[in-house]
Amino acid sequence: MTKINQIIVEREVPCTLRDGITLYANIYRPQASGNYPVLLTRLPYNKNLPDFSHRWIDPIRTVMQGYIVIVQDVRGRFASEGEFEPFAQEIKDGYDTVEWAASLSYSNGKVGMFGLSYYAFTQLYALVEQPSALKAIFPAMTGNIFKEPFGESGVLALASAETWLLDSVAPDYLKRKLSSEEYSAAIKELSNDLDQIEEWHNYMPISELPAAMKHPVLQDIYRKYIDQNFNKRAVTQIHARNTSDFMNIPAYHLAGWYDNFLSQTLMNYQQMREYNSNQKLIIGPWGHGMIGSDLGERSFGVNSSALSIAGKEDLTSVHIQWFNHWLKEDNDILQTDEDPVKIFVMGINKWRSEKEWPLQRTVYTNYYFHSDGQANSKSGKLTTATPTDEPRDQFTHDPASPVPTHGGGTLFYNGRNVGPRDQRQIEVRDDVVVYMTPPLDESIEVTGSAKVILWASTDALDTDFTAKLVDVFPDGTAYNLADGIVRAKYQHGESVKNKIVCYEIELCPTSNVFLPGHSIRVDIASSDFPRYDVNPGTGKTTLDTVEMVKAAQKVFHQTEYPSHVILPIIPQ
């Protein structure tokens, strides 16, 4: 291979789509003559900002390894023409852009795609029309194109949805729609609203959020976006295609234990593996786009960072190795016989390779909720023994004073409130019930997706139940590992008022060793706000109502109603 020391950077290179709209890209390529494979990313966040164009992989290093790197503004964003309609536009535009990139005079006709979040979505959508030039992808921390990006079991991921629209979409959208004078006033007002975004999360009804609706040009896109209109249009296009055809491609999936898209990223891996066995997966102790060694209130060690994975390689080198194999057929650089899955195990803070996900050797073990012996208590025990006839636990869910979000796989403004955080300030609330094992005599590894089977009743027409898996340290510090939420009407399809009903709450995956002296704790509540919209208890949602009622919640753990958590335990 020709040694590459000099590169050419071309700015604002046009790509004309089938409908005549022109998108613009920056192209980084070798100065040396020849034809090279293309690595393409398509994003709505401005190709000229280094935090987006250079952060995920280093285009300079990548070009010096014999690639062309293309960073493109998607339709309706920054330099590119057209109207921005998130998700729905990326199928056709993705196909056209891949084929254009392959046709460039200095391209060898092979294209790979990379990027995280929305610019991982653009990879998945580009697959749908099956561009022949697209040979491999590297989707990181992204959603599943068959699901709502900002929803979970029928519940709106409120803070994520509002943050993305106001912070990531609105500034450029306003700039394109307004005069210079109008924009100057609008962006000042938007900046003030972003400074107070935590307060705006409290506003109901959500569909009338003043921070968005005060700008007439934002009203239409906000309403369609919050109603999942764009995503539904994309899903309609996808269902018209044969899934087995467009999912048949090598893909390297990157996820984080505290990423808001963790479950959907793992769903991507599992679905695509059904159609193409050439899938790889890496999961670190990371948040959304946050791939360092420290997260929330914990540090996982220098080699937990994607800048020094197990002390051996960084994220750019991982990309280069992957694409060398699929775009250059360099079998020596990618070890094709290595295990396809690499996970970071928290607690012991070590990387480990695995042959599959979920792990086949998992022993799913029931840990049952038990009363502490007092009626209407809010704390109890967690053991492998089945319950007898024990007193129920009870709490009041007040949607006007919901349990606040404290860590987890969040996507809040500027990365706030993400990751592992001490839960004690949450667990002392009267509307949180906790169940805990005694201090452990030996280590227990939990790797995979836990599930809570909760027998409960409510006196409201509709309600939510949340569950959280927590690692309690000997000093009492309690760090959250995984969580989940369920909305009654989506799981049971009818009013649950005054009925004892079994709720299944899927917790997001995790990997953690509970060390000797630690305890396993499960927290039960009925809100996690503003991560999720609060359930008003009326049968409606706060998308379109401000009416709320308190709900009396009862948790049962008896022979007939054995509430428990199913832990994915890995034998030592």
The residues carrying an active-site annotation are: 117, 259, 288
- Under DSSP, the state recorded for 208 is G
Counts of helices then strands in the chain (DSSP H, E): 16, 27
Encoded tokens for 570: 């890995």
Encoded tokens for 91: 């199928």
Encoded tokens for 77: 């964003």
Q: CA nearest 220: which of 83, 119, 110?
A: 83
Helix 90-103 × helix 118-127 angle, to 10°:
80
How deeply is 281 buried, as exposed, middle or buried, from its count of CB atoms within 10 A (0-12, 13-18, 19+)?
A: buried
Q: What is the CA radius of gyration of the chain?
A: 24
- Name the H helices within 276-343: 315-328
* Contact status, residue 172 vs residue 46, Cβ threshold 8 Å: yes
How deeply is 210 buried, as exposed, middle or buried, from its count of CB atoms within 10 A (0-12, 13-18, 19+)?
A: exposed
């950077």: which residue's tokens? Answer: 9
* Contact status, residue 471 vs residue 481, Cβ threshold 8 Å: yes
Strands 107-116 and 134-140 come out as parallel
Secondary structure in 3-state letters for 324-376: HHHHHCCCCCCCCCCCCEEEEEECCCEEEEECCCCCCCCEEEEEEEEECCCCC
Alpha carbon of residue 269 to chain centroid: 14
What is the rounded CA–CA span in Å between residue 358 and residue 344?
14
Cis preceding linkage at 530, omega within 30: yes
């509430």: which residue's tokens? Answer: 563
